[in-house]
A and B are shown apart, each in its own frame.
Chain A
């Protein structure tokens, strides 16, 4: 069934179809309509879902840590400050290996107050041990929620599904909504490896000495390293069932080009138009969408770079003192390659400023015009 729905509604449909047992959330713009939609959908009582309307994001994640330890499927959604407030608990969720799914609607972090799209919130949680998946459109949002549970419950790591504020969260698009039966066939009920059992009492998250802590962290890394393969399998199965799917990265435009334009989130949608237009004009450029930020798809990217001499990458985020975070990750990934393309790291669209086709074109033009970037950070659309 196709419906015209917003990105936030797509999240809600994904959650309901995933038969989530416990939802715990606190409202924050622009995530609010997810909470509202889920409240409506769970209010009837037809579903067994418990919705804990907690008093803060910190508690939202803490409650899910409790519930997930109790062996049930959990969900929360937040944005910006809410995610930042959860930070401590994000670590806890991954450290406890709890397959919680969180949707973060990207929003800038104050001050100044700003409620518009900006990836700095989710990217500043990159070291918390969560898988991060970024979405381009509303269909992908719904589908990614479903896939997120499969991945999370396979590798026992929490997954963050990320979408842009307003451009997706509050923008309606036609979305194919799978039936409950179809989803049930794809996503079986959650079977925890360890759970609270008074017959077999255990203590969870017991303190570990330096003798063991390193090994527990090593196990998390090993689990992260399984993600590419598992995510691929999950996506392959999803594609076979639903006729659509999303890789960790996706190349579009030409098969191979001198210049590779790398983007994430909704900027990719705009970039597709620009790349197509420039290809028609004869530019040797192709596009690369990055869906998965954690673990960073190093191998996949290296494979797709092929003979590209330059990579233009647009970051809607800023790690002050360094630059765009995707660019940094890319530089680190490519370092060990023999032939390394020039990286043109553009920072643009912070705090929800539109990244227009013109700006993207400007970025590509700059890349074409310069053998190497003049600066580490190339500000796109900055009013100096």
Chain B
């Protein structure tokens, strides 16, 4: 640094006013009224992800062509990228800021791409150290149970999973047709979990061969038995021969058991199960018609799957409600009422109201009821509080019974794969806290992604790394001048003719090139990707680089607080705060 010169008089001065030193003694930071600082923030996609995936993180790895890095990052939070990349309803994409610019990032497809890439790696996740701490029992091998088992295993617990069915996977295996989720993908991800040392014992139904007494050796128990019972329609003839529960039918089909059906199938319901059933029976060569009591707008099934179902020849009749099922020989006559939409109900949807005298008949060989699923409660231990069909727990899955936790579909009406995975992860953390005498509520609060409810296991394990402000970056906080409009990449689908011939997966994942192109579209909301706008545009050269790398430090000796770095950051990474005076 230049020293400051002091001249006592002309004799000490040079002849002319040539500069003798630099201005770096002049700490212009003193001018500053506001202080910029780097602070990664939460992306709306991650905040919306029930699993708690670091979405921006893994997408950035893809842009760097580090697909393995992307896989490792996903696996910090989620043992089921192959599953989620295919069947998750991707709320992340609904919240993607890019949606307001052109089209959201195809996050699900990128996740699937990473898992497909990893499947070729033949690389297993490292097993934990040999000495296991405590024994944990997990009841149910669905997404909640397996997610919990996975994280507990990574936390060095000795985990045993008990599954009533002959194959692990729960609803992932029995509820989701393989044209959406191929069995090998599921098998691979379950076996990856088993590789961590998780013991999976199948064919052991809880409440029958197994009860709490038999689990006394376990220091904690996680019950995640799901909601596998189809809800009754409660109409006359609703339990007659040839009338099936949608979930039961799917289970049979998915487990490869023989199914006997007529040609013309009526499916009652409007959820994903109804669609899955319809599309599955189409693949068995049948004609499927869905009867739904509200209109298309109210239908809870995911839009894209409805589109695919219609493409595959499924018929949907809206505003129709069966009130009676009559059987005549092998044929069923459904007496239906036409409906109209009335006031909004508690779900926010307009309530269907019957139109008096609008009765008509619909004929089908079989009727499949897909009017929702319910929790089987009879085998649950006593003392668990239940309300409105689910088990009540604290936020961390604690049932109130000592060492007994519950999660997944059993404890929630948000019955998605992602919620189940997230729930299992949360319970894993809660069990760790419970066994180590820590306050799990506080621990959860520390690692929320955004405002929650999803959490980051990475931050639980590494509290001082990848620090992130929970603030969720909004579209207005981005500087979109740095992005060019571009079309969202789409996965290719098989031709319809080919699709309906069997249960082969209908979509093909991204190639590496397409995946990188799509990843490039990511705004990376709240996470610095080193674009260096802050460095380039600083009028005071006060963004410090170490060598060629951005240090994410501001030189406060000289920063005048103009705020250019703040406003030119494309992704809202830099914050400003007023200087204390």
Of A97, A204, A207, A219, the contact of B13 (CB 8 Å cutoff): A219
Q: Is B16 a contact partner of A204 (Cβ separation < 8 A)?
A: yes
Q: Is B19 a contact partner of A216 (Cβ separation < 8 A)?
A: no
Q: Specify the chain B residue showing the minimal Cβ separation from A201.
A: B19
Q: Is A212 a contact partner of B16 (Cβ separation < 8 A)?
A: no
Q: How far is the CA of A203 from the CA of B18 in the complex (A)?
A: 5
A96 at the interface (CB under 8 A from B): yes
Q: How far is the CA of A247 from the CA of B186 in the complex (A)?
A: 109
B9 partner residues in chain A, CB cutoff 8 A: 215
Of A97, A202, A212, the contact of B15 (CB 8 Å cutoff): A97
A199 at the interface (CB under 8 A from B): no
Q: How far is the CB of B16 from chain A (nearest CB, A)?
A: 5
Supposing A218-B10, A219-B10 touch, asked if A193 and B17 sit within 8 A by C-beta, the answer is: no
B13 partner residues in chain A, CB cutoff 8 A: 212, 215-216, 219
Q: Specify the chain B residue showing the minimal Cβ separation from A211.
A: B7
Q: Specify the chain B residue showing the minimal Cβ separation from A193.
A: B15
Q: How far is the CA of A328 from the CA of B15 in the complex (A)?
A: 31
B7 partner residues in chain A, CB cutoff 8 A: 212, 215
Number of interface residues of A (CB under 8 A): 19
A204 partner residues in chain B, CB cutoff 8 A: 16-18
Q: How far is the CA of A205 from the CA of B17 in the complex (A)?
A: 5
Q: Specify the chain B residue showing the minimal Cβ separation from A203.
A: B19
Q: How far is the CB of A21 from chain B (nearest CB, A)?
A: 20
Q: How far is the CA of A156 from the CA of B18 in the complex (A)?
A: 15
A110 at the interface (CB under 8 A from B): no
Q: How far is the CA of A229 from the CA of B15 in the complex (A)?
A: 19
Q: How far is the CB of B353 from chain A (nearest CB, A)?
A: 84
Q: How far is the CA of A193 from the CA of B7 in the complex (A)?
A: 20
Q: How far is the CA of A334 from the CA of B256 in the complex (A)?
A: 127
Q: Is B10 a contact partner of A206 (Cβ separation < 8 A)?
A: no
Chain A positions 181 through 212: 1 when the CB is less than 8 Å from some CB of chain B, otherwise 0: 00000000000011000000011111110001
Q: How far is the CA of A212 from the CA of B5 in the complex (A)?
A: 12
Q: How far is the CB of B5 from chain A (nearest CB, A)?
A: 10
Q: Specify the chain B residue showing the minimal Cβ separation from A194.
A: B18
Judged by DSSP, the binding face of B is loop
Q: How far is the CA of A193 from the CA of B18 in the complex (A)?
A: 11
Contacts between chains A and B (CB distance < 8 A), count: 41
Supposing A215-B9, A215-B10 touch, asked if A96 and B19 sit within 8 A by C-beta, the answer is: no
A194 partner residues in chain B, CB cutoff 8 A: 14-16, 18
Q: Specify the chain A residue showing the minimal Cβ separation from B20.
A: A202
A209-233, CB < 8 A from B:
212, 215-216, 218-219, 222
Assign chain B's interface to a size class. 10 to 19
Q: Specify the chain A residue showing the minimal Cβ separation from B12.
A: A215
Q: Specify the chain A residue showing the minimal Cβ separation from B18.
A: A202
Q: How far is the CB of A274 from chain B (nearest CB, A)?
A: 45
Supposing A212-B7, A215-B10 touch, asked if A97 and B16 sit within 8 A by C-beta, the answer is: yes
A208 partner residues in chain B, CB cutoff 8 A: 17
Q: How far is the CA of A207 from the CA of B9 in the complex (A)?
A: 18
Q: How far is the CB of B25 from chain A (nearest CB, A)?
A: 15
Q: How far is the CA of A62 from the CA of B19 in the complex (A)?
A: 21
Chain A positions 288 through 313: 1 when the CB is less than 8 Å from some CB of chain B, otherwise 0: 00000000000000000000000000
Q: How far is the CA of A1 from the CA of B15 in the complex (A)?
A: 40
Q: Is B17 a contact partner of A206 (Cβ separation < 8 A)?
A: yes
Q: Is B16 a contact partner of A205 (Cβ separation < 8 A)?
A: yes
A205 partner residues in chain B, CB cutoff 8 A: 16-17
Among B7, B15, B19, the one with the most A-chain Cβ atoms within 10 Å of its Cβ is: B15
A212 partner residues in chain B, CB cutoff 8 A: 7, 13, 17
Q: How far is the CB of A212 from chain B (nearest CB, A)?
A: 7
Of B10, B14, B16, B20, the contact of A96 (CB 8 Å cutoff): B16
Among B7, B13, B16, the one with the most A-chain Cβ atoms within 10 Å of its Cβ is: B16
Q: How far is the CA of A202 from the CA of B17 in the complex (A)?
A: 10
A203 partner residues in chain B, CB cutoff 8 A: 18-19
Of A202, A215, A222, the contact of B19 (CB 8 Å cutoff): A202
Q: How far is the CA of A215 from the CA of B20 in the complex (A)?
A: 16
Q: Is B15 a contact partner of A156 (Cβ separation < 8 A)?
A: yes
B17 partner residues in chain A, CB cutoff 8 A: 204-208, 212, 216
Supposing A212-B7, A218-B10, A219-B10 touch, asked if A206 and B19 sit within 8 A by C-beta, the answer is: yes
Q: How far is the CB of A206 from chain B (nearest CB, A)?
A: 5
Q: How far is the CB of B150 from chain A (nearest CB, A)?
A: 62
Q: How far is the CA of A95 from the CA of B18 in the complex (A)?
A: 12
Q: How far is the CA of A212 from the CA of B20 in the complex (A)?
A: 14
Supposing A212-B7, A215-B10, A218-B10 touch, asked if A206 and B15 sit within 8 A by C-beta, the answer is: no
Q: How far is the CB of B145 from chain A (nearest CB, A)?
A: 71
Q: Is B19 a contact partner of A219 (Cβ separation < 8 A)?
A: no
Q: How far is the CB of A344 from chain B (nearest CB, A)?
A: 40
Chain B positions 4 through 34: 1 when the CB is less than 8 Å from some CB of chain A, otherwise 0: 0001011001111111100000000000000
Q: How far is the CA of A283 from the CA of B331 in the complex (A)?
A: 156
A219 partner residues in chain B, CB cutoff 8 A: 10, 13, 15
Q: Specify the chain B residue showing the minimal Cβ separation from A156.
A: B15
Q: How far is the CB of B20 from chain A (nearest CB, A)?
A: 8
B19 partner residues in chain A, CB cutoff 8 A: 202-203, 206
A129-180, CB < 8 A from B:
156
Q: How far is the CA of A216 from the CA of B17 in the complex (A)?
A: 8
Q: How far is the CB of B4 from chain A (nearest CB, A)?
A: 13
Q: How far is the CA of A193 from the CA of B20 in the complex (A)?
A: 14
B20 partner residues in chain A, CB cutoff 8 A: 202
Q: Specify the chain B residue showing the minimal Cβ separation from A202.
A: B18
Q: How far is the CB of A125 from chain B (nearest CB, A)?
A: 21
Q: How far is the CB of A141 from chain B (nearest CB, A)?
A: 30
Q: How far is the CA of A203 from the CA of B14 in the complex (A)?
A: 13
Q: How far is the CA of A383 from the CA of B19 in the complex (A)?
A: 58
Q: How far is the CB of A216 from chain B (nearest CB, A)?
A: 6
B14 partner residues in chain A, CB cutoff 8 A: 194
Q: How far is the CA of A97 from the CA of B13 in the complex (A)?
A: 14
Chain B positions 206 through 221: 1 when the CB is less than 8 Å from some CB of chain A, otherwise 0: 0000000000000000
A97 partner residues in chain B, CB cutoff 8 A: 15-16
Q: Specify the chain B residue showing the minimal Cβ separation from A214.
A: B10
Q: Specify the chain A residue showing the minimal Cβ separation from B16.
A: A97
A207 partner residues in chain B, CB cutoff 8 A: 17
Q: How far is the CB of A219 from chain B (nearest CB, A)?
A: 6
Q: How far is the CB of B303 from chain A (nearest CB, A)?
A: 66
Q: How far is the CA of A194 from the CA of B16 in the complex (A)?
A: 9
Q: How far is the CA of A222 from the CA of B17 in the complex (A)?
A: 16
A222 partner residues in chain B, CB cutoff 8 A: 10
Q: How far is the CA of A202 from the CA of B18 in the complex (A)?
A: 6
Q: How far is the CA of A286 from the CA of B30 in the complex (A)?
A: 71
Q: How far is the CA of A203 from the CA of B16 in the complex (A)?
A: 10
A193 partner residues in chain B, CB cutoff 8 A: 15
Q: How far is the CB of A14 from chain B (nearest CB, A)?
A: 27
Q: Specify the chain B residue showing the minimal Cβ separation from A205.
A: B17
Q: How far is the CA of A156 from the CA of B10 in the complex (A)?
A: 16
Q: Specify the chain B residue showing the minimal Cβ separation from A216.
A: B17
Q: How far is the CB of A9 from chain B (nearest CB, A)?
A: 35
Q: How far is the CB of A215 from chain B (nearest CB, A)?
A: 4
Q: Specify the chain B residue showing the minimal Cβ separation from A204.
A: B18
Q: How far is the CA of A146 from the CA of B17 in the complex (A)?
A: 29
Q: How far is the CA of A95 from the CA of B15 in the complex (A)?
A: 10
A206 partner residues in chain B, CB cutoff 8 A: 17-19
Chain B positions 157 through 200: 1 when the CB is less than 8 Å from some CB of chain A, otherwise 0: 00000000000000000000000000000000000000000000
Q: How far is the CA of A219 from the CA of B18 in the complex (A)?
A: 14
Q: Specify the chain B residue showing the minimal Cβ separation from A96.
A: B16
Q: How far is the CB of A182 from chain B (nearest CB, A)?
A: 31
Q: How far is the CB of A359 from chain B (nearest CB, A)?
A: 45
A60-101, CB < 8 A from B:
95-97
A–B pairs, 7, beta carbons within 8 Å: A156-B15, A202-B18, A206-B18, A206-B19, A212-B17, A216-B16, A222-B10
Q: Given A193-B15, A202-B18, A215-B9, 13 more contacts at CB 8 Å?
A: A95-B16, A156-B15, A194-B15, A194-B16, A203-B19, A204-B17, A205-B16, A205-B17, A206-B18, A206-B19, A212-B17, A216-B16, A219-B13
Please name the 8 residue pairs, one residue from A and one from B, whose CB atoms are nearest each other, closest first: A215-B10, A203-B19, A202-B18, A206-B17, A208-B17, A97-B16, A218-B10, A206-B19
